Every structure is written in C-alpha cells, then in structure tokens.
Homo-oligomer: A and B are copies of this chain.
C-alpha cells in the first residue's frame, strides 16, 4: 500500500498502432473482457510503473499484449478528462505507433485478450474516450506523414513505388497523380533503387526500392525538408 498526502490520479498509457494492409489503413484493437466496457474494443495500454517513462511503459504494454516490438513510436497527447474512466480518475498518455503489418500475423488471441486489426473507417464504438483518441491519432498521422518520412515505417524494407503511393493515398484519403508522385519522390533522391524486382504478381514486375535513412538524416541535419 502506498500513501500520499493528496489524492493522485492513476497514470496510464494507451497505444494507437497503425498498420497498412493492401487495401486499407488499420488500427490494432483489443477486446475488453471485463467491466467497465466489457466486450467493447479499446486500444492496448496499461499502468505506468515508477521506474519507466511513459514511452517505455507503452512499449512494454505493447510487447506484453501483442508481441510487437521495436516499432516507430511517439507521444500523441495526454487525455485527462475527469470522468474518462468511470471507476476513478485516470490520466492517460496516448502514444501512436507505426508497424510493418507484414511482420506481424493477426494475433488469433486468447479468449480473455482478443486482438484484431480494424480498418480505420470500420472501427466500432470504442471503450472510454478511445474514439476521441483515434480521431487525434488520425489527424496527427495525416498531418505528419506529408512532412516527415514516417510512412516508410508502415511498409516492408523493400517496396515498390506503387505500394508507396498507395500508402500515401490511404492515409491522406485522396488519390495522387502517378507521374507527379514519382517525379517528386525520386527527385528527393532518398530512395535506393535495388536491382531486385517484385515477384509473383500477374502483371509487369515493379522495381523495388529501399528508403535511405542515413542519407535522410544527413540531409535533415543540413536543413532539408521532406515533403510529399
């Protein structure tokens, strides 16, 4: 038991994890097995321990609940509505994360802790204030993806320009012109063209590319701004 002179809110983290399938942008949800909101879906999360930052806590919870590790993650926003949890005062630091969906099978999941990927436009009513958290996360992703090369975190290491373009189209919610897109992205000279080609597709095989992180970091340090 721990005693304090003044009352303290509980401190938790929640994680909005985005992944990209062939036909849509997805988020990972966990179905709650207990009240409150038993049966509702919610973002994975949990309490912050005394010896870890919120980001460390978010990564730990994510590894525990989904097995996902080493993904791109950043702090999203801190939700502190007084009644966001009906049991007691809980302040939650939400994080948002991007993963290469190809690396993680859809967790079949134990009965007590079912995890599932949902297309972002087919997410059901969520537990607590998680609907609001999702809105904030989507807005952040849309705003950020155009000015920082974080979209690559959603794709496999080697990808085609078609996949890259589709990723932006799914996130931004509008179509892009193929020739203009290629001109722009190749003009930045941040994609390493590989000799390798796409395999097993029933149409002309596309060239594979890799994002050149080292080059980006060098350019960024000298004032270069990524932009799509």
Contact = CB atoms under 8 A, between A and B. Distances in A.
B8 A4 contact: yes
B11 A50 contact: no
A8 B10 contact: yes
Contact of A5 (B1, B4, B81): B1
This protein's copies in its complex:
2
7 contacts: A1-B5, A2-B3, A2-B5, A2-B7, A3-B4, A8-B8, A80-B93
Interface residues of A, number: 28
Interface stretch (A51-59, A119-127, A202-210): A51-59
Q: Which of A9, A48, A55, A89 has the most CB of B within 10 A?
A: A9
B9 A48 contact: yes
Interface string A116-134: 0000000000000000000
